[in-house]
């Protein structure tokens, strides 16, 4: 009997059992699913950040336009991606310089959600 046990253990050492291979495959697939889920989440955050950055660029570009305009007024603009609205209120002269308070908002829609960035700033009359 001991001879058979020795022969069996020698054969056992030459390869892997199917159960060991299945367990290794399960562990690898679980790790792959975790990494792929993390990648999907990073892509979503990256897209949302890019949209916010583009909205801020539109907002800053429009502030520069308002600053260069001779007599800026209330208005709205709609493009393919963004809806831009602004309000301008003339404030009394501060230190002998006319001041305009500006409230600008940029809106955009992603899937079924609306996003909005608002900014309050001051335009000084350069004249």
Q: Tens of pLDDT along 7-59?
A: 455 555 667 789 999 999 999 999 999 999 999 999 999 988 998 898 888 88
> pLDDT higher for 23 or 81?
23
**Which structural domain range is residue 92 located in?**
2-124
Number of domains, the chain: 1
Q: Which residues of 42-54 are buried (b: 16+ CB within 10 A; e: fewer)?
A: eeeeeeeeebeee
Residues 69-89, mean pLDDT to the nearest whole number? 77
Instruction: Count Cβ atoms below 10 Å from residue 85 Cβ, excluding itself.
Output: 16
The pLDDT value recorded for residue 12 is 55
In the structure encoding, which two tokens stand for residue 53, read together? Answer: 């950055």
């Amino acid at each position: 009997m001991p001879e058979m046990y020795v022969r069996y253990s020698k054969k056992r050492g030459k390869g892997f059992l199917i159960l060991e291979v299945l367990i290794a495959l399960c562990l690898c697939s679980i790790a792959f699913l975790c990494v792929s889920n993390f990648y999907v989440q990073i892509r979503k955050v990256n897209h949302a950040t890019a949209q916010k950055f583009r909205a801020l660029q539109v907002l800053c570009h429009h502030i520069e336009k308002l600053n260069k305009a001779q007599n800026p007024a209330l208005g709205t603009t709609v493009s393919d991606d963004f809806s831009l609205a602004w309000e301008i209120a003339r404030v009394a002269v501060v230190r002998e310089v006319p001041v305009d308070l500006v409230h600008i908002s940029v809106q955009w829609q992603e899937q079924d959600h609306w996003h909005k960035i608002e900014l309050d700033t001051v335009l000084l009359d350069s004249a």
